[in-house]
Structure 1
Amino acid sequence: MNEIVLFSPIGGTDPISEYNLHEGAMLHICRHYGVTKVYMYMSGEILEKHKKDNRYVKAVEKLAERQNRKIDCKVIERPDLEEVQNFDFFYEEYQKILKDIISELDETDRFLLNVSSGTPAMKSAVLIMHTLGEFNSTAIQVKTPEKGMNNHTHNDEYDVDTYWGLCAENEIEDDGVGRCVEVNLPSLIKIRYSEIIKNHVKKCNYAAALDVLENAKTLFSGNQYEEYHALLEMANMRLHLDYNHAKKIATEKGLECFSIVDGSKIKIFEYALAIDVKRMNENYADFIRALTPLFLNLMELMLEKQCNIKISKYYTDDNVKWDMEKLVNTEVFNILINKWENFGNKNSTPYVQSVHILEVIINLSDVSLKVKECAKKLRKIEESIRNLAAHNIVSITDEDIKKKTDMSSKQIMDLIKEAFTYTAINVKTHAWNDYSRMNESIIGKIDLL
């Protein structure tokens, strides 16, 4: 409908001040914002004046005539209202009234709130309604002409025609906003949602943060929503190992939160970071399930770094099974066949397992003792707990992990970090804090929006 709707309590200086001959806040907003409909909230005292000379409606009609347009006036009468300083009353009263008004508007309309007219309790209640952010509104404060307190003295008789003819704004009218100032207080609900989003980010629960953002979409401007969404989507992509898209968004947003960017190295490092997030969030079942592929890849990289053997060249194209044609008559094959006599017989093609890689590592003289010990520990952990989450519907705690492996989940993560030092991936200590740095950057960006 493209209407501009104003809700305004009516105060002592409305519609035109008898003291300084400047129009009050209600009329001033109507003048400068092109208001098409105004709801005038009148207490008992104000209503008496309205019924005596129709001053408020008549002033608005004269403004509409001057501007060659129509302004629809709606009077909300409260003849029995005398306790005009009761904030609690107005808070509940305005909440009902504003919801009724909003229900009649559509997305093309603009809703304005006058926070300068009426008693202090009235003005405070209107401002609270705006800052709570339960609906989309613009709160407008109108500065006094003298930039001080208004004088509310008045005569018993009020001649609208006379005061309209003397109204200062009719002499100084321009295309600007006059004495109107939009109150840019952030919505309390918007702040609350932002804090919930930030708390989810701190816990790396980006999917939940995205859900909260979607539920609060109407509270944010289009640009704010897009920025929020891009940042959270980037983090969520990273956690789900879609790091190429995540890196692209991070670069666009000016975030430096990827310590490892090399394509051949980023995959395993990002995987290790992701399972560390599971650990920190006490999602121990998923943490355990994720260890086997990580341990296998780490042992492969350890072997490649220590002995220059790229073991995956002996795998099938899908990297699932050993390729016996490539493997036979190699040093690796001799180690494996020496350990398992039936390894790779004609009846079966063995799947690649970390126990195979470990056997190669511990039987090669070029591998240092500390590397062999690290690989053995990795394999022992996998063997001890791989069935704990895979075949049991149970709650898994850090204490359960420690009972099975003699190591806490943090100690297991420390062992993983040690294993990385035996690979060609140069992981600096600060890199393990990539998610914390990313989260801080996201929260910093949110605070600036």
Structure 2
Amino acid sequence: MDKNIDQNKERVLLTFAGNSDPTRNNYDGPMLHICRYYRPEKIYLVLTSEMQKRNENKIYEKAIKESLTDYNPIFEYINTDINDAHLFDIYFNKINETFNKIKLEHPNAEVLVNVTSGTVQIISNLVMYIVDAVNINIIPVQVESPEGKGNTSKVVNDNYKVNDEKENNFDNIEEFGRNRIIFPDLRQYSRLLAKNQIKELLKKYEYLTCLELLKRDIFQENSKLNGLLNFANDRRHLKGLKSNGKLKSLNDKKFDKFYYYSRNETNENKVKEWYKIVDYFALANIKQKSGDIAGYTIMLEPLIVNIYLSILRDVLGKKLSDLFSEKRKEEEFSYKTDILKIKKYDGLKEKIEDELNKVLKDSIFVSNKVLIAVIKYFIEKDNRATLKKMDLNDFIDFSETLSKIKEVRNMIAHSLKTINRDDFNSEAKVGIDTVNSKIINFFKKYYTDFGYKESMVYVYDEINKIANEILETEK
């Protein structure tokens, strides 16, 4: 019994009738031979006009039931009325209808498909369907001729005598008969097509579409690849620590470097803000790499605000609630100006108003310009106290580069067209690579002591690399 066949499963056979059926040259034809060894519970027998005429006395059904006396399958005859059996495209609709009928009537069955009986055109149509089939458990079955080569003997004719052929069939004699069934790996064509499609989709980080292709379950390492890409898709949709479950189930140490934040952490509140910033930038980065410049630009706006908040909190060690009023919504903090708090710091209100070039209003959302002014204030103050946690000129250069993103964001908001890399560079007067370099250098300089590694920014590229390596093992 071949490893592809499950003895305990429901099993049906789809077969055309060919010139070697039911028997030929004193041996089983392909249809009878498949039934002899694998005994499908139901046989969908597809007949061209020529074979319909030959089957007027049900010779195929009789030959099977008389040769295999302890076997009584259900037959369903599918008469196609096809006269032009030499045409390739004439079979498509009938084959598709038959497979759909089987999927409806036997959704959980193993579907044996005879790819030996019939014309070259019939077999080609069946192979093409099998290669691209989804939501059906198809097992293609090939039957060798007794001589192990093409048949040259006289074909079955309209005078076929079931009883005579049964008596002269060597396959009915135990010492002469042998199993001539082969299970060709037709899915190798499907794997090649799917591999190439997935590789192209990975370049664009389109994990959800990759997962749709993997539903065909044609790869040996399908579960591992599926788990890895499910993780990447969840992580890309900001599911945080929940995404880690997709990797844990695989129990593969090779994936340890991909876990969101920590393999063993389960409390989302314990994920540090600096890490969330890095992870969010990693997402923005793959948007620009895949050509979604508008998406990249839109993501940078909240990222920049959070970087400035992180500078105050993580780099300069300031408590944000001492500076601003906090507004909590769906586990997210936003901040509003609080003039009473700001006035507690000598000269801070004046510093902010100088940056804004207007009077500071109370209870408005804290803008980038407000944050920049506050950061400059504390850098200057700390420098005077010889703390020097951040160089003022470095911060000015950094903030001036990031401020140019606003121009691109305004262009997107007022434009009816998509933007490309050249549009971004032209409007911002600074290249995307420069913006990215500034942000990554900031991470290196100020987050490394917290546990930052540059691989965090490129985690999706590392995932793609491993996914491609898994695909390369599939033949």
CA shift for structure 1 position 281: 2.9
Per the alignment, residue 261 of structure 1 pairs with 261
Q: Determine if the alignment matches structure 1 residue 4 to structure 2 residue 7.
A: no
Q: Determine if the alignment matches structure 1 residue 246 to structure 2 residue 258.
A: no
> Which amino acid in 2 is paired with 1:279?
Q
Between the two proteins, the alignment pairs up a number of residues equal to 424
Match of 2:375 among 336, 357, 363: 357
Q: Determine if the alignment matches structure 1 residue 381 to structure 2 residue 411.
A: no
Distance 1:95 1:371 in 2: 72
Q: Determine if the alignment matches structure 1 residue 15 to structure 2 residue 22.
A: yes
Match of 2:77 among 74, 78, 81: 74
Distance 2:237 2:100 in 1: 41
Per the alignment, residue 6 of structure 2 pairs with none
Q: How does 1:311-326 map to 2 (within 5 A)?
A: 311-314=319-322, 315-317=324-326, 318-321=333-336
Distance 1:95 1:167 in 2: 34
Distance 1:79 1:418 in 2: 70
Distance 1:48 1:285 in 2: 65
Distance 1:415 1:248 in 2: 33
Q: Determine if the alignment matches structure 1 residue 339 to structure 2 residue 347.
A: no
1:340-368 deviations in Å (ceiling 9; x for gaps): 4799x997246444322233234431465
Per the alignment, residue 393 of structure 1 pairs with 414
CA contact (8 A) 2:23 2:156 kept: no
Per the alignment, residue 34 of structure 2 pairs with 29
With the length of structure 2 as denominator, give the TM-score of the two structures. Answer: 0.73
Q: Determine if the alignment matches structure 1 residue 433 to structure 2 residue 458.
A: yes
Per the alignment, residue 181 of structure 1 pairs with 182
CA contact (8 A) 2:247 2:259 kept: no
Q: How does 1:398-409 map to 2 (within 5 A)?
A: 398-409=421-432
Per the alignment, residue 233 of structure 2 pairs with 236
**CA distance 1:155–1:270, change in 2 (3 Å):** closer
Higher mean alpha-carbon deviation, 294-303 vs 26-35, is at 294-303
Distance 2:239 2:184 in 1: 42
Distance 2:156 2:22 in 1: 14
**CA distance 1:373–1:418, change in 2 (3 Å):** farther
Q: Determine if the alignment matches structure 1 residue 412 to structure 2 residue 435.
A: yes
**CA distance 1:367–1:93, change in 2 (3 Å):** farther
Can you give the 5+ residue segments of structure 2 that lack an aligned partner in the other structure? 1-9, 263-270, 327-332
Q: Percent identity?
A: 19
CA contact (8 A) 2:127 2:186 kept: no
With the length of structure 1 as denominator, give the TM-score of the two structures. Answer: 0.77
1:365-395 deviations in Å (ceiling 9; x for gaps): 1465984233213322343342542583224
> Which amino acid in 2 is paired with 1:234?
F
1:315-352 deviations in Å (ceiling 9; x for gaps): 444351356676664xxx23513414799x99724644
CA shift for structure 1 position 208: 4.7
Per the alignment, residue 167 of structure 2 pairs with 165
Distance 2:58 2:353 in 1: 106
Distance 1:397 1:17 in 2: 67
**CA distance 1:61–1:374, change in 2 (3 Å):** same
> Which amino acid in 1 is paired with 2:89?
E
